[in-house]
Amino acid sequence: MVNPSIQTLVIKNLINFLLILALVVVAIAGMNYRALSKQAIENQALAHAKLVRAGLTAHMKGNIMHKRSYYLDEIRQLHNINSLEIVRGASITAQFGVGMGYEKVADEITEQVFITKQPLFIMNEFTLAPTIRAIIPYIASSEGDLNCLSCHQVDEGAVIGAVDIVMDVSEYQRRSFMVLVGIFTTIVIFTSLILLNTARTIQKHVQRPLEDLIKTADSAYHSHQPVNPNNFKTREFVNVANEINLFNDDVIAHQDMLKEKNRELEQLNDEVESTLRETVYTIGVIEEQRSKETSNHTKRVTLYSQLIAQKIGLTPREIELVTAAAPLHDIGKIGIPDSILLKPGKLDSAEYEVIKNHTSIGFSMLNHSERDILRSGAIIALQHHERWNGEGYPQGLKGENIHIFGRIVALADVFDALYSSRVYKKAWDIESIIKLINEERGQHFDPQLVDIFLENIDEIVAICDQYPSNSEIKK
């Protein structure tokens, strides 16, 4: 999931906040406007009632009550009056009778108004044709020009009657609605402007500088160039740029220190390995001395093995390992008694079996180690007398089941034994050796190694010439 941007988060929160604000403002405005509208309608109804009362009183005083229907009809024609009816109070009915045809008989609601003596307004606003019914009582008073008591036989404060007006309020509702729409539209417009401006400000002063900062910080880290604080206008970004530079300097200093430490470690490791190589080689030479091997046999076998490993394309580390471990190939001879190892004549079969043990003795001497060189030495010690066709010892391994190190040293060791003289034999000539090795291709030796070996026989012979045996018998 991709995290939202600062701009998205701020705008989202702002929209929520402004939406709630707009709803609250519209609700308050709506309620207030409704109250004001209702008040205005009620005032209008009261004004109509006063007008009717004044007109009726005038008619009464002018003694033209019989013409009052014309006057009332005129008022009925006024805008937004749906109906206008007069309701006689009990005292008037008692004095003048039940009244004329257009006068209404008091219903339950009007009776209630007669009791409370207070105007009653009943809104019927949730319909397609909203109305308000206003029932306004006429209270007898002797004050002012309209002295009711001069005509009516009632007490001061008694209810003479009431006017019952039903007025159309759809126009008021429409206006209220339009005002609310106006308020809402204004809020939406202002909100949109605020959002646009906020988005622009965030984009300009936060988002873009932040992206620039990330980019420059990234390249600063990789190219080790400092971030330029002058590229930023706001104080916070300048501070962050300075902090990044401080942090980056610190990282670079640590990296340099780590590189130095790493170099030192590599050097130490090289020294340890080179010491181990020398030690291993020296052990090989010691064994060579004890076995009365021709001198430099260990050196030559090591160099042949290295050359073959290079020519067949082993990895640099494998070449290092076979080169370092080859001197250990006969290390197991340390465990063979002198009487057998140094016996000048031919060995009998029992003695030969004892000699063969030098492979597994060498393996057990070295195999416990965790070091690659010694473990490679263990493999070479164990397998350098195995034969490609499976007729070797000690395990009779066949083909590629013999480790490549074992196959390489086997060839190098046999070649050197043939090409150098021993106390009991002369060195073979090179042609005879090549012939034998060819015959043993796929028998004693790995055929691919034989091919490589013979292709490079000149270099092999050159090694031998460089490190001859001291007791060299003329070849």
Interface positions, 124-163, toward Fe ion (CB under 5 A): none
- Structure tokens belonging to residue 197: 């401006």
Query: Of the two residues 330 and 386, which places its CB atom closer to Fe ion in the complex?
Result: 330
Choices 173-181, 189-197, 258-266, 411-419 (CB under 5 A): range interacting with Fe ion: 411-419
Least gap, CB of 352 to Fe ion (angstroms): 12
Determine the Cα angle at 419 with ends 418 and 423, to 5°.
70
Contact 163, 88 (CB under 8 A): no
The residue to which tokens 């140094």 are assigned:
342
State the number of CA atoms in the 13 A half-sphere of 186 facing the CB: 9
Q: How far is the C-alpha of 228 from the C-alpha of 382, rounded, in Å?
A: 66
Query: Of the two residues 320 and 330, which places its CB atom closer to Fe ion in the complex?
Result: 330
Cis peptide before 394 (omega within 30 of 0): yes
Query: Of the two residues 216 and 420, which places its CB atom closer to Fe ion in the complex?
Result: 420
Least gap, CB of 320 to Fe ion (angstroms): 21
For strand 120-124 and strand 159-168, is the pairing parallel, antiparallel, or unpaired? unpaired
Contacts of 92 (CB under 8 A, 6+ apart): 99, 152, 154, 160, 161
Residue 288 binding Fe ion, by CB under 5 A = no
Query: Of the two residues 330 and 446, which places its CB atom closer to Fe ion in the complex?
Result: 330
Least gap, CB of 266 to Fe ion (angstroms): 34
Query: Of the two residues 241 and 331, which places its CB atom closer to Fe ion in the complex?
Result: 331
Least gap, CB of 360 to Fe ion (angstroms): 11
For strand 131-139 and strand 120-124, is the pairing parallel, antiparallel, or unpaired? antiparallel
Least gap, CB of 475 to Fe ion (angstroms): 19
Residue 446 binding Fe ion, by CB under 5 A = no
Choices 48-56, 137-145, 155-163, 405-413 (CB under 5 A): range interacting with Fe ion: 405-413
Query: Of the two residues 320 and 413, which places its CB atom closer to Fe ion in the complex?
Result: 413
In DSSP terms, 139 is beta-bridged to 159
What is the per-residue DSSP string for 247-299? HHHHHHHHHHHHHHHHHHHHHHHHHHHHHHHHHHHHHHHHHHHHTTPPTTHHH
State the number of CA atoms in the 13 A half-sphere of 443 facing the CB: 6
Choices 25-33, 241-249, 265-273, 322-330 (CB under 5 A): range interacting with Fe ion: 322-330
Choices 11-19, 257-265, 409-417, 429-437 (CB under 5 A): range interacting with Fe ion: 409-417
Phi, psi of 201 (to 5 degrees): -65, -45
Q: How far is the C-alpha of 162 from the C-alpha of 454, rounded, in Å?
A: 137
Least gap, CB of 342 to Fe ion (angstroms): 15
Least gap, CB of 309 to Fe ion (angstroms): 17
Choices 67-75, 212-220, 330-338, 391-399 (CB under 5 A): range interacting with Fe ion: 330-338
Choices 102-110, 183-191, 326-334, 395-403 (CB under 5 A): range interacting with Fe ion: 326-334
Least gap, CB of 406 to Fe ion (angstroms): 11
The residue to which tokens 């043939």 are assigned:
418
Q: Select from 330, 336, 341, 388 the one that contacts Fe ion (CB under 5 A).
A: 330
Q: How many residues in the shown chain lie near Fe ion by CB under 5 A? A: 2
Query: Of the two residues 164 and 413, which places its CB atom closer to Fe ion in the complex?
Result: 413
Residue 413 binding Fe ion, by CB under 5 A = yes
Q: How far is the C-alpha of 161 from the C-alpha of 1, rounded, in Å?
A: 77
Q: What is the DSSP letter of 124?
A: E
Per CB under 5 A, residues contacting Fe ion are 330, 413
